[in-house]
Amino acid sequence: MDYIYLDNGASTKIDPEVLNAMIPYFERIYSVASSQFSHRPGIEARDALEGARKIIAEGIGAKPEELVFTSGGTESNNFALKGMASTTNRGHLIVSKVEHYSVLYSARTLESMGFKVDYLDVDRYGQVDLDKLKDLVTDNTLLVSIQHSNHEIGTIQPIGEVVKIAKERGAFVHTDAAYSFGWLPVDVERLGVDLLTITGHKIHGPKGIGGLYVRKGTPIKKWMDGGFNEFDKRGGTENIPAAVGMAKAFELMTDVEIEQVRALRDYLKKKVLSIPDSHLNGHPEERHPANLNVTFDYIEGESVVLHLDMRKIGVITGSACFSRSLEPSHILMATGVSHEHAHGSVRFSLGRFNKKEELDYVYEELKKVVENLRRLSPMKKED
């Protein structure tokens, strides 16, 4: 059997159709996107870029001129937070404790510049505490940034409620939908957000491309100085092949396919949770369709990951031993679990190319690995 990749939450294999759609923009149409008064290659390039923008903007309920292409989710999140700083005289920011590092560390940077930042608590499933949010939002709150769905435990946030609360005090709302984009309905009108982050490579599109939706009238500052690209909001030559690829990948994410992946995820979930002393992390229902996160008691995740890798299965863990910082997952810890619980967590994230037979094999191998490691563990229950 070929290597079984279950780390699609990190990044995905590009779809061959996407790759084919991109190739002409390396080989034939490689000019920069320039004005209508330009040479023909420049106009062709611009048409390609604007075509991609239109497809994506329409898919998220936005106008094309409200979508700024960036290099990916991390840049979009930096842009949203740092670009909004100092645009009004409000000096307060609220982010949740389970945000992606690009939001958390942007918030910390703003904190070091004198902004007041509150880190909003989440419940045991990872959903934000709306009552606490009500208490935290004031007339000084500039921006509330809460992700759409969590990249590690899959929990979907009640963004509609967040927007209602924030808007009562006139605060802007950003949501990081990098993991949701293409997988979950993300409609900026229905959500009511002012800023929304998307990315191309979690839906079998290319890396190095993403976007930030900026609602018309939002006073965001230009983030990257340069030319007048992207409605003068982001300097730098646009990555046209990647933009075309991202649009194509987005088009390929049909409801039918998403339901297939969800069914596979549910199939794996049922099998994995049949292993004794295993617990689902994240929300049981309000959950990203491709995400499964489970803690196995008495054992540590890096050992599980390494054993599975030797069996040609790729997953990740929230264990401290796996991270470069030697800290357990801040996301799991924010849900109030113990260090041990975070150390024993394993994330399985599916994609278009996973097959049911693969998941059967994963379950069989996983069961053996967990049993073996438990045999070694001083914490196992006495039998």
The residues, any chain, with a CB within 8 Å of residue 41's CB and separated by 6 or more, are: 29, 30, 31
Binding string, 168-197, against another protein, x = CB under 8 A?
A: ------------------------------
Residue 36 identity: Q
Tell me how many degrees the CA angle 322-328-329 measures, rounded to the nearest 5: 100
By CB under 8 A, is residue 276 in contact with another protein?
no
| HEC secondary structure over 314-337 | ECEECCHHHCCCCCCCHHHHHCCC
Min dist. Cβ of residue 339 to another protein (A): 4
By CB under 8 A, is residue 138 in contact with another protein?
no
Whether 63 and 217 have beta carbons less than 8 Å apart is answered as no
C-beta closer to another protein: residue 3 or 26: 3
By CB under 8 A, is residue 281 in contact with another protein?
no
C-beta closer to another protein: residue 77 or 281: 281
By CB under 8 A, is residue 100 in contact with another protein?
no
By CB under 8 A, is residue 379 in contact with another protein?
yes
Min dist. Cβ of residue 88 to another protein (A): 39
Min dist. Cβ of residue 311 to another protein (A): 11
Q: Copy the structure tokens of residue 380.
A: 């196992």
Whether 148 and 172 have beta carbons less than 8 Å apart is answered as no
96, containing H or E segment: strand 92-96
> Of 8, 70, 150, 319, which one interacts with another protein (CB under 8 A)?
319
Q: Is 37 left (phi over 0), alpha (psi -120 to 50) or beta?
A: alpha
Biggest CA-to-CA distance, the chain: 79
By CB under 8 A, is residue 343 in contact with another protein?
yes
By CB under 8 A, is residue 375 in contact with another protein?
yes
Instruction: Give the up-direction half-sphere exposure of residue 145: CA atoms within 13 A in the CB hemisphere.
Output: 34
What are φ and ψ of residue 131, in 5° steps? -65, -40
By CB under 8 A, is residue 303 in contact with another protein?
yes
Q: Is 321 one of the catalytic residues?
A: yes
By CB under 8 A, is residue 23 in contact with another protein?
no
> Of 86, 87, 88, 377, which one interacts with another protein (CB under 8 A)?
377
By CB under 8 A, is residue 376 in contact with another protein?
yes
Q: Which stretch binds another protein (CB under 8 A): 79-87, 223-231, 234-242, 323-331?
A: 323-331
> Of 20, 138, 237, 338, which one interacts with another protein (CB under 8 A)?
338
List 196's β-bridge partners, or say none: 175, 213
> Of 50, 65, 277, 302, which one interacts with another protein (CB under 8 A)?
302
C-beta closer to another protein: residue 88 or 377: 377
Whether 11 and 207 have beta carbons less than 8 Å apart is answered as yes
By CB under 8 A, is residue 326 in contact with another protein?
yes
Report which DSSP code applies to 66. G
Could you say which of 208, 321, 323, 365 is catalytic? 321
Whether 327 and 275 have beta carbons less than 8 Å apart is answered as no
C-beta closer to another protein: residue 131 or 309: 309
Q: Which stretch binds another protein (CB under 8 A): 107-115, 168-176, 207-215, 313-321?
A: 313-321
Q: Copy the structure tokens of residue 147.
A: 């992700």
> Of 10, 23, 273, 306, which one interacts with another protein (CB under 8 A)?
306
Helix residue ranges per DSSP H, the chain: 16-22, 24-27, 40-59, 73-84, 101-112, 130-136, 159-168, 188-191, 229-232, 240-252, 255-272, 301-310, 330-334, 339-343, 356-376
The dihedral of CA 189, 192, 197, 203: what is its sign?
A: negative
C-beta closer to another protein: residue 255 or 383: 383
Min dist. Cβ of residue 255 to another protein (A): 40
Whether 113 and 136 have beta carbons less than 8 Å apart is answered as no
C-beta closer to another protein: residue 233 or 343: 343
By CB under 8 A, is residue 328 in contact with another protein?
yes
By CB under 8 A, is residue 310 in contact with another protein?
yes
Q: Which residues bind another protein (CB under 8 A)?
A: 298-300, 302-303, 306-307, 310, 319-322, 324, 326, 328, 338-340, 343, 375-379
Catalytic residues, by residue number, are 321
